A and B are shown apart, each in its own frame.
Chain A
């Protein structure tokens, strides 16, 4: 059973380009969370999705950032017109369902985005 898979592992973008980060949850998991980690900071929640639904996007910047989790395929975090301040590690986590026995989230290896 593969864990949470994120790709790419490293992504370099020039200012103004778009960044697309992908996350495939663990098999059987229908909840996906995206977190951002800046240097020397903890993980900051960005968005929580279930299949075809955004449940909580309170941590997402209002502009340039969007996320989706389609019925088929991975969850995508999209950052348009990237700026240097977007450089960070972006982690995806998945869990089977809230309120169940195993409520710990399992994390992917992260995507390190560098904006040059």
Chain B
């Protein structure tokens, strides 16, 4: 069974800190791994990763995938209170199979 495990489940940091969120997975047929940010409502798409070792970057956020060790990390540098959210990692297996989500990491950034 395809599975996604995120750690930590929750994290509290101060503004300006750098955080690393982890996502490990098990999958039969891998297509891609996706990261979402969920604030009060809908998850919003952050990154899609398909190849190992290629860092995706968007402002202070970056993410990388290791297909050999079956994990991905999401880094946020110089955190701000607006980064407070649940960060969801999702696996997109190949074929007509929908996304499989982890439980998420709840990040709280305090001033």
Q: A91 with B98: in contact, given A42-B103, A43-B88, A103-B48 (CB under 8 Å)?
A: no
B87 to chain A, nearest CB (A): 11
Report whether over half of chain B's contact residues are helix, strand or loop; otherwise say mixed.
Answer: strand
Q: A45 with B98: in contact, given A103-B32, A104-B48 (CB under 8 Å)?
A: yes
B42 contacts A45, C-beta separation under 8 Å? no
A11 to chain B, nearest CB (A): 15
B96 contacts A48, C-beta separation under 8 Å? yes
A72 at the interface (CB under 8 A from B): no
Q: Which of A4, A45, A108, A109 contacts B99 (CB 8 A)?
A: A45
Residue from A43, A98, A105, A110 with most neighbouring chain B CB atoms (10 Å)? A43
B34 at the interface (CB under 8 A from A): yes
- A102-116: CB near B (< 8 Å → 1, else 0) gives 011111111000000
B96 contacts A55, C-beta separation under 8 Å? yes
B48 contacts A56, C-beta separation under 8 Å? no
B100 at the interface (CB under 8 A from A): yes
Residues of chain A lying within 8 A (CB to CB) of residue B98? 33, 45, 48, 56, 105
Residues of chain B lying within 8 A (CB to CB) of residue A35? 101
A44 at the interface (CB under 8 A from B): yes
A87 to chain B, nearest CB (A): 17
A41 at the interface (CB under 8 A from B): yes
B31 contacts A103, C-beta separation under 8 Å? yes
The A33-67 residues at the B interface (CB cut-off 8 A) are 33, 35, 40-45, 48, 55-56
CA of A4 to CA of B43, assembled, Å: 12
Residues of chain B lying within 8 A (CB to CB) of residue A41? 103
A105 contacts B99, C-beta separation under 8 Å? yes
- B66-78: CB near A (< 8 Å → 1, else 0) gives 0000000000000
Q: Which residues of A contact B (CB under 8 A)?
A: 4, 33, 35, 40-45, 48, 55-56, 91, 93, 98, 103-110
